[in-house]
Amino acid sequence: MKSKEGKLIVFSAPSGSGKTTIVHHLLGQKGLNLDFSISATSREKRGNEVDGKDYCFISLDQFKSHIKADEFVEWEEVYKNNFYGTLKSEVERIWAEGKHAIFDIDVVGGLRIKNKFPESTLAVFVKAPSIEVMEHRLRARSTDSEEKIKERVAKAEREIAYAKDFDIVLINDKLETAKKEATALIEKFIFSS
């Protein structure tokens, strides 16, 4: 895989920070020429998620087969037996269309992409104003059990330590402001480098 074709824009954050909402906003900005890199995952669908749009849902065995065949740019076992990863074929598809790839992925995966393609990647860490605000957002979603929420909050506390390794830390206190800031960051990265 060559990185000369397009830029890679990584958005990573603990669950409940608002990264997915910001990424969807950026995808709607036609002048940015972005396409969403659909991650593969071995976890079950949640809510109204659509296979091939939100994620590529595959079995645990299929995921492990892709790992053995070295078909991922990055992958991670985010929770026990819940793997997430970026297939090389997905990034190549986006570049073949002449677009820049935007990622909504976990913190470790985001840093792996940044380390693999340091010159062509902008890595943005989205952070809620506090752990309490993030936990409130997770509860408001009504998609996870109490046990899963506690697991996500504990993981968030560990993930925040990685924020310093990203190019930018974007605080999502007011969503509209965060969207504007994210748009300006991406425009600067794409058009001035």
Spell out the SS3 assignment of 15-58.
Answer: CCCCHHHHHHHHHCCHHHCEEECCCEECCCCCCCCCECCCEEEC
Q: At residue 186, what are phi and psi to the nearest 5 degrees? A: -70, -40
In Å, what is the CA distance from 64 to each residue of 6, 42, 60, 82, 104? 28, 9, 6, 11, 21
Residue 3's pLDDT band (cuts 50, 70, 90) = very low
Q: Give residue limits of the domains in the chain.
A: 8-192
Tell me if the domain spanning 8-192 has CATH number 3.40.50.1380.
no
Per-residue pLDDT for 4 more than 60?
no
Residue 56's pLDDT band (cuts 50, 70, 90) = very high
Tell me the per-residue pLDDT of 125-174, one tens digit each, with 9 for 90 and over: 998 877 787 777 777 777 777 887 787 777 778 888 999 999 999 998 88
What's the pLDDT score for residue 193? 59
Per-residue pLDDT for 53 more than 60?
yes
pTM of the model: 0.85
Q: What residues contact 166, with CB distance under 8 A and at least 6 apart?
A: 12, 110, 111, 114, 123, 124, 125
**Which of these ranges, 96-100, 108-112, 145-149, has the smallest mean pLDDT?**
145-149
The per-residue pLDDT of the chain, averaged, comes to 89
**Token couple for 59:** 């079995």
Per-residue pLDDT for 2 more than 60?
no
CA distance 117 to 17: 25
